[in-house]
A and B are shown apart, each in its own frame.
Chain A
Amino acid sequence: MEYIIEMLNITKVFPGVIANEKVTLQLRKGEIHALLGENGAGKSTLMSILFGMYQPDEGIIKVKGNEVVINDPNHANALGIGMVHQHFKLVHNFTVTENIILGKEDNKLGFLKTKAAIHKIQSLSDKYKLKVAPNALISEISVGMQQRVEILKMLYRDSEILIFDEPTAVLTPQEISELMSIMKQLSKEGKSIILITHKLNEIKKVADRCTILRKGKLVSTVNVNETASEKMAEMMVGRKVVFGVVKQPAKIGDPVLKVENLSMASNNSEKMLINKVSFSVNRGEIVCIAGIEGNGQTELVHLITGLIPHKQGKITLNNKDITNYSIREKTLSGIGHIPEDRHKHGLVLDYNLAYNLILQTYFTARFQKRGLLKFKNIYQFARDLITQYDIRSGQGPYTIVRSMSGGNQQKTIVAREIIREPDLLIAVQPTRGLDVGAIEYIHQQIIKHRDEGKAVLLVSLELDEVMNLSDRILVIYEGEIVADLDPKSTNENELGLYMAGSKRGEVGAS
Chain B
Amino acid sequence: MLAKILNYINTSEKRINIISLFLAIVTGLLFGLVIMIIVSPRDSFPAFLTILTGGFRDIGRVLEIATPLIFTGLSVGFAFKTGLFNIGAPGQLMIGAISAIYIGVRVTFLPAPIHWIVAVLCAGLAGALWGAIPGILKAYRNVNEVVATIMMNYISLYFVSYAVEYQLYDLKNARSLTVAKSAQLPYLGLDKIFTPNTVNFGFILAIIAIVIIYIILEKTTFGFELKAVGFNQHSSKYAGVNDKKGIIMAMLISGLLSGLAGAAIYLTDSFGRHLETTEILIAEGFNGIPVALIGFSNPIGIFFSAIFIGFIELGGFYMQRYDLAPEIIDIIIASIIYFSALLILFRGIIIRLLKHNRFKHKKREEEDG
B355, A349: Cβ atoms closer than 8 Å = no
A71, B232: Cβ atoms closer than 8 Å = no
CB distance from B139 to the nearest CB of A (A): 15
For A355, the chain B residues whose CB sits under 8 A away are: 224
For A362, the chain B residues whose CB sits under 8 A away are: 221, 224-225
CB distance from B136 to the nearest CB of A (A): 19
CB distance from B245 to the nearest CB of A (A): 11
Closest to A15 in B: B12
A331, B240: Cβ atoms closer than 8 Å = yes
Q: Can you list 9 pairs linking A and B with CB atoms under 8 Å apart?
A: A69-B358, A69-B362, A71-B355, A328-B240, A329-B240, A345-B235, A348-B232, A360-B239, A368-B220
A371, B222: Cβ atoms closer than 8 Å = yes
B358, A55: Cβ atoms closer than 8 Å = yes
B237 contacts chain A at the CB level, 8 A cutoff: yes
For A327, the chain B residues whose CB sits under 8 A away are: 237-240
Closest to B225 in A: A362
For A307, the chain B residues whose CB sits under 8 A away are: 237-238
A348-B228, A359-B239 known; A368-B358 Cβ under 8 A: no
Q: Mark B193-230, 1 if CB is under 8 A from A, else 0.
A: 00000000000000000000000000111101101100
For B241, the chain A residues whose CB sits under 8 A away are: 328
B231 contacts chain A at the CB level, 8 A cutoff: yes
CB distance from B155 to the nearest CB of A (A): 30
Binding site for B on A (CB under 8 A): 55, 60, 69, 71, 305, 307, 326-332, 337, 339, 344-351, 355, 359-360, 362-363, 367-368, 371-373
B238, A346: Cβ atoms closer than 8 Å = yes
A371, B221: Cβ atoms closer than 8 Å = yes
CB distance from B216 to the nearest CB of A (A): 9
A349, B231: Cβ atoms closer than 8 Å = yes
CB distance from A61 to the nearest CB of B (A): 11
Q: Report the interface size for chain B: residues with CB under 8 A from the other chain.
A: 24
For B240, the chain A residues whose CB sits under 8 A away are: 326-332, 360
* B238 touches which of A71, A339, A351, A372 (Cβ 8 Å): A339
For A360, the chain B residues whose CB sits under 8 A away are: 239-240
B236, A348: Cβ atoms closer than 8 Å = yes
Question: How far apart sit A344 and B240, CA to CA, in the bound complex (Å)?
Answer: 14
Question: How far apart sit A360 and B225, CA to CA, in the bound complex (Å)?
Answer: 10
B220, A344: Cβ atoms closer than 8 Å = no
Question: How far apart sit A329 and B240, CA to CA, in the bound complex (Å)?
Answer: 8
Closest to B359 in A: A69
B234 contacts chain A at the CB level, 8 A cutoff: yes
8 closest A-B pairs (Cβ-Cβ)?
A328-B240, A345-B238, A359-B239, A327-B240, A350-B231, A69-B359, A348-B231, A368-B221
Question: How far apart sit A89 and B358, CA to CA, in the bound complex (Å)?
Answer: 27
B219, A347: Cβ atoms closer than 8 Å = no
B220, A349: Cβ atoms closer than 8 Å = no
User: A348-B228, A348-B231, A359-B239 known; 11 other A-B pairs, CB under 8 Å?
Assistant: A55-B355, A71-B356, A305-B238, A326-B240, A327-B239, A328-B242, A344-B235, A349-B231, A360-B239, A367-B221, A373-B220
Chain B contact residues: over half helix, strand or loop, or mixed?
helix
A331-B240, A372-B220 known; A348-B235 Cβ under 8 A: yes
Q: B228, B242, B359 — which one has the most chain A CB atoms within 10 A of its CB?
A: B228
For B235, the chain A residues whose CB sits under 8 A away are: 344-348, 359
Question: How far apart sit A71 and B355, CA to CA, in the bound complex (Å)?
Answer: 7
B238, A337: Cβ atoms closer than 8 Å = yes
* A373 touches which of B219, B355, B359 (Cβ 8 Å): B219
Closest to B220 in A: A371
For A351, the chain B residues whose CB sits under 8 A away are: 227-228, 231
Closest to B358 in A: A55
For A331, the chain B residues whose CB sits under 8 A away are: 239-240
Question: How far apart sit A347 and B232, CA to CA, in the bound complex (Å)?
Answer: 8
For A330, the chain B residues whose CB sits under 8 A away are: 240
A344, B234: Cβ atoms closer than 8 Å = yes
B231, A363: Cβ atoms closer than 8 Å = no
A307-B237, A326-B240 known; A372-B355 Cβ under 8 A: no
CB distance from A372 to the nearest CB of B (A): 5
Near A by CB (< 8 A), chain B positions 46-78 give: none
Question: How far apart sit A355 and B239, CA to CA, in the bound complex (Å)?
Answer: 12
Question: How far apart sit A360 and B240, CA to CA, in the bound complex (Å)?
Answer: 7
Near A by CB (< 8 A), chain B positions 347-369 give: 355-356, 358-359, 362
Near A by CB (< 8 A), chain B positions 311-369 give: 355-356, 358-359, 362
CB distance from A327 to the nearest CB of B (A): 5
Question: How far apart sit A362 and B219, CA to CA, in the bound complex (Å)?
Answer: 12
B232, A349: Cβ atoms closer than 8 Å = yes
Question: How far apart sit A337 and B359, CA to CA, in the bound complex (Å)?
Answer: 47
For A350, the chain B residues whose CB sits under 8 A away are: 231-232
For A348, the chain B residues whose CB sits under 8 A away are: 228, 231-232, 235-236
For B228, the chain A residues whose CB sits under 8 A away are: 348, 351, 359
For B219, the chain A residues whose CB sits under 8 A away are: 372-373
CB distance from A466 to the nearest CB of B (A): 25
Closest to A56 in B: B358
For B358, the chain A residues whose CB sits under 8 A away are: 55, 69
CB distance from A347 to the nearest CB of B (A): 6
For A367, the chain B residues whose CB sits under 8 A away are: 221
Closest to A345 in B: B238
Question: How far apart sit A196 and B185, CA to CA, in the bound complex (Å)?
Answer: 66
Question: How far apart sit A344 and B238, CA to CA, in the bound complex (Å)?
Answer: 9
CB distance from B147 to the nearest CB of A (A): 17
Question: How far apart sit A355 and B217, CA to CA, in the bound complex (Å)?
Answer: 13
For B231, the chain A residues whose CB sits under 8 A away are: 348-351
B224, A71: Cβ atoms closer than 8 Å = no
Closest to A360 in B: B239
Closest to B224 in A: A362
CB distance from A430 to the nearest CB of B (A): 16
